[in-house]
Amino acid sequence: MKTPKLLCTIAAVALAQGSLFAVNTDPVGFVSVTVPANSDAVLAVPLNRTSEFKGLTSALSGTSGSVTITVAGTPNWTAGQFAPLATANKTYALQLASGAKEGLVLPITNNGTNTVTVSASDNLTGVLASGEQIDIMPYWTPASLFPSTLAAGVQFFGFSAPPAGTNLAAIQIYSHTGSGVWENGDDFSDASNEPLPFTSAFVLRNGTASSQVLSFVGSVPMTSHRMTLATLAANKAQDIRFGYVSPVASTLAQAGLAGVGTPAVSGDQILVFNNSQSGINKSAAQILEFDGTDWTDGETFDVVTNTFQFTPGFGYLYRKFGTTSPTSVVWQDIQSYLQ
Amino acid sequence: MKVALLPLLCLFASTAFGTVTMQFSQSSVARATGFANHAGVGTGGMRWGIVIDAGSNALQGGSYDVFDTSVSGFLSVGGVTTDDYYFAGGLTVASVGSTPTIPSGNDPGGTGVISQLTNVAIPYGTGGIGSGDAFSLIWFDGASAANSYYGMLANTGPTAAFTLPNDGDTVSYAAYFAGTTADPIKAANLQFPGAAPVPEPSRMMLIGFGLIGLFFRRRR
């Protein structure tokens, strides 16, 4: 278990003792953001929902696609308790908490009394075989993330599973109808419990005449930030909306975007948005560019690798430079407070 | 009778696209309802889209030749390609219930609902299409065919004027629609032309053939 160097907390909660199958409670934190009236804000959640299981693996069946993981010991789960929407309108994820792919998030499709089945887009060969740490926690959803007192009419714009290219408009639109109920703009279905992907950024559009103050409350992530940066078509740059998973401000260098092992390549850009500025469909307030060694401000050409900081709760846009064929790289980084 | 389905000409001189999301129904603002068939019944399952005035010279709605409503492209009138560009959308929703509006009150919902075009790529730069171009909503009472019906709805403002967004933008036009009362029924009252008739022999020609036949009979 990593020892945190810095906690962003309301109160630190003592770890549970004894059984591997008790939930060792992570530190709790909160991050507050404000969305101006009649404006968009680009946001991301730097905290997790409370973990409902922490333990070790003992066996793995399958390496990709539908994979079944056997946990060590006897957790005495109820079969199906982690199936999507089977438990209190929750959709669960299994996150690797150790090993080469620490931070990888796998959606859970079902479970047995001591097994859990996930949908693995990554090849898990050599991963999760035995003795690896895992966390099971529910995805954030609009109803669980945002307060029910949020003004009716506020809209959530998601960008998950985007098509190839840049300047992509919203793909998921959920509107708050009031009292914590969210509606899907495509077909008017209930979107209150739609899972929000880890590390994803979203736009919150406040169409009301009053600013909206949001407080994200959750568990401090105790595993690495991990996400994929990929181009989807040949010779075409790709926009990827993201948030750095940390409740603590971090520089680009601290976030692993410079130096040895960085996933960044020359030509990559990060678009930064001013969330305190009024307006919708706002263009980037700052563009950072990677020259192969450092990140620079696109307007002033100043080197910002060790000065620009990701703000907790804010979302960003990573514009991956076009490649001759679709390419995927992993951005995996241990947060500064875990080192 | 034969019906000539004139093909749409898709002139992609440029591969530039504007990727946009265009909302017509927005919870807590208003729903775009009342899109009805020719009989005036708000109906789900009708295909709808937008027609873009790429030439900024007014649309020729009501005169279009029959076209495949599942395919986007420039429309024709009398066999001649126009600068009116049809972008195929989705299907109308049968009905939707009420929802709170801002600051209070209820949108009574309705039937024949249009939701949104989500993250669609419109060929900006092709044939003069670009952000700011005016467009109209268009919906079809059934599969397009000779004499079938369609409807069009324009909005030049001042509220939520129907103009194309900038590339990458998400724009709502819902404020144009009624938020506290039911939207008026909009019947599909424009009609595609009928099939060209198969030419029939003239009466005089028939009489002429008859006379010729009688002539040869008398000669024998």
pLDDT digits (tens, 9 = 90+) for A66-81: 999 999 999 989 999 9
Is residue A189 over pLDDT 60?
yes
| Block residue for tokens 């068939």 | B37
Q: How far apart are CA A174 and CA A208, in angstroms?
A: 16
| Contact (Cβ atoms closer than 8 angstroms) between residue B168 and residue A168 | yes
Section B17-33 average pLDDT:
90
Residue of A42, A154, A167, A232 to mutate, testing the B interface (most B Cβ within 10 Å of its Cβ): A167
Using alpha carbons, list the distances in angstroms from residue A38 to A174, A208, A276, A285. 17, 6, 12, 18
Cβ-defined contact of A173 to B118 (cutoff 8 Å) = yes
User: Which residues are registered as beta bridge partners of A87?
Assistant: A90
The two structure tokens encoding residue B201: 């022999």
pLDDT score at B205: 58
Burial profile A91-128: b = 16 or more Cβ within 10 angstroms, e = fewer: bbbbbbbbbebbbbbbbbbbbbebbbbbebebebeebb
What's chain A's average pLDDT? 90
> Which chain B residues are within 8 Å of A165, Cβ to Cβ?
17, 19
In 3D space, the residue among A71, A67, A57 whose CA is nearest the CA of residue A123 turns out to be A67
C-alpha triplet A262, A265, A268: angle, nearest 5°: 115
Using alpha carbons, list the distances in angstroms from residue B93 to A93, A181, B42, B48, B156. 33, 20, 9, 11, 25
Residue of B17, B21, B25 with shortest CB distance to A170: B21
Cβ-defined contact of B168 to A208 (cutoff 8 Å) = no
Q: How far apart are CA A314 and CA B189, in angstroms?
A: 49
Q: How far apart are CA A244 and CA A107, in angstroms?
A: 20
Residue of A163, A177, A187 with shortest CB distance to B99: A177
Please count the other Cβ atoms lying within 10 Å of the Cβ belonging to residue B2: 9
Instruction: Please write the tens of the pLDDT for every residue from A196-219.
Output: 999 999 999 999 999 999 999 999
Is B28 an interface residue toward A (CB < 8 Å)? yes
Q: How far apart are CA A92 and CA A118, in angstroms?
A: 10
Shortest Cα distance from A317 to chain B (angstroms)? 13
Is residue A12 over pLDDT 50?
no
| Contact (Cβ atoms closer than 8 angstroms) between residue B33 and residue B148 | no
pTM here is 0.85
Q: How far apart are CA A95 and CA A133, in angstroms?
A: 9
Is residue B196 over pLDDT 60?
yes
Instruction: Please write the tens of the pLDDT for every residue from B48-74.
Output: 999 999 999 999 999 999 999 999 999
DSSP alpha helix (H) spans, A65-214: 142-145
| Contact (Cβ atoms closer than 8 angstroms) between residue A316 and residue A286 | no
Cβ-defined contact of A169 to B170 (cutoff 8 Å) = yes
| Contact (Cβ atoms closer than 8 angstroms) between residue B21 and residue B170 | yes
Lowest mean pLDDT among A121-135, A154-168, B80-94, B165-179: A121-135
pLDDT score at B9: 38
Higher pLDDT: A271 or A20? It is A271
For residue A205, give the amino acid letter: R
Q: How far apart are CA B132 and CA B87, in angstroms?
A: 15
Report percent pLDDT > 70 for chain B: 80
Is residue B204 over pLDDT 70?
no
Residue of A40, A149, A175 to mutate, testing the B interface (most B Cβ within 10 Å of its Cβ): A175
Cβ-defined contact of B113 to A188 (cutoff 8 Å) = yes
Q: Residue ranges per domain, chain A?
A: 32-45+143-218, 53-138, 221-338
The two structure tokens encoding residue B188: 């599909």
Cβ-defined contact of A153 to B93 (cutoff 8 Å) = no
In 3D space, the residue among B168, B139, B132, B124 whose CA is nearest the CA of residue B24 turns out to be B139
- Element of type H or E holding A137: strand A133-138
pLDDT band at B146 (very low <50, low <70, confident <90, very high): very high
Residue of B20, B28, B119 with shortest CB distance to A177: B28
Higher pLDDT: B176 or B205? It is B176
Cβ-defined contact of A207 to B29 (cutoff 8 Å) = yes
The domain A53-138 having CATH identifier 2.40.30: the answer here is yes
